[in-house]
Chains A and B, each alone.
Chain A
């Protein structure tokens, strides 16, 4: 069994606490083979994070640089990163509770949807939002994800193909007019293929820059935490994970802000 699917089963023993996201979700949706690392959206409560830490402790995991797996930081959009080895395999496990670009309502709906899937995995529409990163390759994934969205409205909001968009607007005129309010680029459809392609390129760059700025704000907020991390990690390395976690929390308090504005 895929190691990340097995871990997902362990995280969700007794209760759904984690849904597969990002690269592994792309694999589970049978879209592309990608991502050496596992990424989960976790329930934002103490029981969920404690259970996940206990599972990772049983595998001998250790923290990488990042926020402690503690809902006070996760609530502020931070991510937690751990790593362990199984034989020759390096297993990286990444966690958030507030994935970027998903509204609270969309996240709530994503949980309800994921709970119906085995293993729980982020749905295609929400995955397309998550993938609006600063990496070019993710926009190729979004382009193909959009074709799997079952409704014309959702496809209009996510498609990366000018040809597809022109066809969608023709096939779903009411949805197109409504979708223009959420995605201004769609108003360029009547101008034809080339202007629409240029607008798609500009939209992609705008999204990439927005994500770069988002990452930079977290990097800036983590500057003091980064400065003490080598000594924190050295001390934590001699502890079992649950004890190391408590130590990280204690050291991060007052150094790593909960919220990033």
Chain B
């Protein structure tokens, strides 16, 4: 028995060439644009998790 953390799709990345990984990410990135409105106030990195309410314009 082994603890699993990620999906099979993610684990398969390790066997792909980096160019294939980039192409896969690029496709995902284009599709992920569909959620831009939902995450307009959200941060993925840094010291903020979202734009403070007072700073929203």
Rounded to whole Å, the gap between the CB of A149 and the closest CB of chain B is 14
Once A2-B25, A223-B52, A226-B55 are accepted as A-B contacts, the answer to whether A39 and B13 lie under 8 Å apart by CB is: no
Q: How does the 8 Å CB contact mask read for A129-142 relative to B, with 1 for contact and 0 for none?
A: 00000100000110
**CA A100 to CA B49, docked complex, whole Å:** 14
A218 on interface, CB distance cutoff 8 Å: yes
Q: How does the 8 Å CB contact mask read for B25-36 relative to A, with 1 for contact and 0 for none?
A: 110111011011
**Contact A96–B46 (Cβ < 8 Å):** yes
Rounded to whole Å, the gap between the CB of B12 and the closest CB of chain A is 9
**Contact A79–B57 (Cβ < 8 Å):** no
A13 on interface, CB distance cutoff 8 Å: no
A94 on interface, CB distance cutoff 8 Å: yes
A204 on interface, CB distance cutoff 8 Å: no
Residues of chain A contacted by B24 (CB below 8 angstroms): 33
Residues of chain B contacted by A218 (CB below 8 angstroms): 47-48
Residues of chain B contacted by A37 (CB below 8 angstroms): 43-45
Q: Bin the interface of chain B by size.
A: 35 or more
**Contact B6–A164 (Cβ < 8 Å):** no
| Contact segment of A20-28, A106-114, A174-182, A247-255 | A20-28
Q: Does more than half of chain A's interface fall in helix, strand or loop, or is it mixed?
A: mixed
**Contact A81–B57 (Cβ < 8 Å):** no
Residues of chain A contacted by B56 (CB below 8 angstroms): 230
**Contact B54–A229 (Cβ < 8 Å):** yes
Residues from 216 to 252 in A contacting B, C-beta threshold 8 Å: 218-219, 222-223, 225-227, 229-230, 233-234
Once A65-B51, A223-B52 are accepted as A-B contacts, the answer to whether A22 and B13 lie under 8 Å apart by CB is: no
**Contact B36–A90 (Cβ < 8 Å):** yes
Q: Bin the interface of chain A by size.
A: 35 or more
**Contact A28–B55 (Cβ < 8 Å):** no
Once A30-B13, A30-B21 are accepted as A-B contacts, the answer to whether A215 and B6 lie under 8 Å apart by CB is: no
Closest A-chain residue to B28, C-beta based?
A33
**Contact B21–A27 (Cβ < 8 Å):** yes
| Contact segment of A49-57, A155-163, A183-191 | A155-163
Once A229-B54, A229-B55, A230-B57 are accepted as A-B contacts, the answer to whether A33 and B44 lie under 8 Å apart by CB is: no
**Contact A2–B45 (Cβ < 8 Å):** no
**Contact B13–A31 (Cβ < 8 Å):** yes
**Contact B55–A65 (Cβ < 8 Å):** yes
**Contact B25–A219 (Cβ < 8 Å):** no
**Contact B47–A78 (Cβ < 8 Å):** yes
A101 on interface, CB distance cutoff 8 Å: no
Q: Write the residues of chain A forming the contact surface with B, with a CB cutoff of 8 angstroms.
A: 1-3, 5, 21-23, 27-28, 30-33, 35-37, 39, 64-66, 77-81, 88-90, 92, 94-96, 134, 140-141, 143-144, 160-164, 214-215, 218-219, 222-223, 225-227, 229-230, 233-234
